[in-house]
Amino acid sequence: MIKNETSIEQCRRLIEASLQWGDPSSWTNEDFEELSEKIYAVTSVRLSVSTLKRIWGKVRYDSSPTAATLNALARFAGFDNWRTFVARHGGVYTEEETVIDHMVPVDMSSGSPVPMMGVGKRSMKRRRIRTGLVIVVTAAIIGLLSLFGSRLKQTPASGASDLRFEAKQTSDDLPNSVVFQYNARKLYPEKLMIQQSWDSTRREEVPTDSREHTSLYYYPGFFIARLIADGQTLKKTEVFIKTKGWKGIIQRDPLPLYLKDAEIKTPGSLEITAATLQQKTGAAVFNDVWTDFTNVREFKGLDSADFTMAVTLRNSSSREQAPCRRINIYILGTQSAIIIPLADKGCISEMRLLTGDGWISGKENDLSGLGCDFNSFQHLECQVKDQRLKILLHNKLILDTSEHQTIGAIIGIRIGFEGAGEMRDIRLDGHGMPIYQESF
């Protein structure tokens, strides 16, 4: 019997309801790959497909999931951590139990259903009293909730004029604490929260009568933080966590591993070797072990509606260390991102490419042009112009698709290697003019 089995099942149901993908018994490997990406986007924790399959009963799982896995699932479901989830939802009824609860009177002292067979008149009378008490208490609670829920809406406009929500960074490096300065006192909210980014699960409750709250950011990027009162977004503020040039980061839960410049900069390339990665992680096999080279900053003069990005790189893991030897190239924007996958030629089925217009799946589209022979360096170009996105590998056009929606201002490049990898050079042009170029 796996520990936390009941709570894990409840957490799974919450996640299934939020995804709305239907019966999980019909989920494919691609679905679990997408779920892994969604969890990573929300929590910065990458759970492997095999781990998720074990959680959902697709693969035999005799041991309990790790605390890191449970915390990631709880955060994706909208809670601070697993302990908070269990504390708040450890007694949630299943659907079947909820139906029974409507049919069978409940003992208010124990929370257990009262047996229906062999009940005498005195028991029936007590049950009527309990039922009446439940109705009265429920009506009172609903009335109070309605009153509290309407307070914010009925607040005079003068209260809104005093509303404040600003962000101040305490460092120009990683990790970076951000001090949020806020004031919503005159709105008299019952519950006040700060949401650190677009991810609705990354919320922290703050005192309604205070003015400052500090949050810690471990990864760089462009985030829109929100001040939320009783479920309503009151105000937004930008949080732009930059890097000082290229930063090497090994993704790991609960905390990432930062790499020194001397560990990634070699003559002629920016590189994470298999030896360095094994030393840092203790792993000899790199499946779902990701290293990012990230450069987050303003690229003035770069228009996401008309630009070219060119990069020369390769995954240097052996097939024994990482069979698919995947690479993800991220062009980060203030509104969205372009994500271009590369992998060993035999692994193109699992690819998923993101454009400004949405996802393109390797299950339903021929992305074989993105399959690579990593015995040699790969030269890739991404071009956006006239609402078209084109991808070229070794100057050969392998994808031409629409790009009606831009990703906003380009604020960073991230190169993710599954395992070891190296990058020789990178170039960014805007409107045909060079904006940024670097050879390592």
Long-range CB pairs of 436-439, under 8 A, 24+ apart, other chains included: 436/299, 436/302
Does 277 have pLDDT greater than 90?
yes
Does 19 have pLDDT greater than 80?
yes
| Ranges of H-type helices in 20-169 | 29-43, 49-55, 67-76, 82-89, 95-103, 121-151, 157-161
Angstrom distance (rounded) from CA 332 to CA 278: 29
- Domain covering 247-439 assigned CATH 3.20.20.70 in the classification: no
Q: At residue 259, what is the residue type?
A: L
| Two structure tokens written together for 90 | 């450890």
Give domain limits for the chain.
5-89, 99-151, 157-241, 247-439
Q: What is the pLDDT of residue 83?
A: 85
Does 45 have pLDDT greater than 90?
no
CA angle 47, 48, 49 (to 5 degrees): 120
Does 369 have pLDDT greater than 60?
yes
| Model confidence pLDDT, tens digit, residues 331-365 | 999 988 999 999 999 999 889 999 998 889 888 89
Whether residue 254 has a cis bond before it, omega within 30° of 0: yes
Helix (H) or strand (E) holding 238: strand 232-241
CA torsion, ordered 265, 178, 75, 341, to nearest 10 deg: -30
Angstrom distance (rounded) from CA 154 to CA 242: 40
Residue 46 is classified by DSSP as: -
- Average pLDDT along the chain: 83
Note whether 337 and 354 are within 8 A (CB).
yes
Q: Which residue, 398, 297, 407, is CA-closest to 355? A: 407
Q: What is the pLDDT of residue 41?
A: 82
Does 178 have pLDDT greater than 50?
yes
| Two structure tokens written together for 312 | 């020369």
Count the Cβ atoms, other than its own, within 10 Å of residue 377.
17
Q: Which residue, 292, 301, 206, is CA-closest to 251? A: 292
Percent of the chain with pLDDT over 90: 55
Any bridge partners for residue 383, and if so which? 308, 390
Residue 407 is classified by DSSP as: -
Q: At residue 280, what is the residue type?
A: K
Q: Which residue, 314, 332, 354, 326, is CA-closest to 428? A: 332
Q: What is the pLDDT of residue 161?
A: 59
Note whether 433 and 308 are within 8 A (CB).
no
Angstrom distance (rounded) from CA 218 to CA 70: 20
Q: What is the pLDDT of residue 92?
A: 40
Helix (H, G, I), strand (E, B) or coil at 175: coil
Note whether 371 and 386 are within 8 A (CB).
no
CA torsion, ordered 423, 429, 430, 434, to nearest 10 deg: 130
Does 94 have pLDDT greater than 50?
no
Residue 376 is classified by DSSP as: S
Helix (H) or strand (E) holding 439: strand 433-439
Percent of the chain with pLDDT over 70: 82
Task: Decide the pairing of beta strands 371-372 and 337-344.
Answer: parallel
| Two structure tokens written together for 282 | 């203790």
Q: State the residue for tokens 């698709």.
A: 401
Residue 385 is classified by DSSP as: E
Q: State the residue for tokens 């030269």.
A: 379
pTM assigned to the model: 0.65
Q: What is the pLDDT of residue 1?
A: 37
Does 111 have pLDDT greater than 70?
no
CA torsion, ordered 86, 91, 97, 102, to nearest 10 deg: -130
Angstrom distance (rounded) from CA 387 to CA 306: 9
Helix (H, G, I), strand (E, B) or coil at 241: strand
**C-alpha 83 chain-centroid distance:** 20
Q: Which residue, 360, 367, 363, 365, is CA-closest to 344? A: 367
Note whether 269 and 424 are within 8 A (CB).
yes
Note whether 40 and 52 are within 8 A (CB).
no
Class of domain 157-241: mainly beta
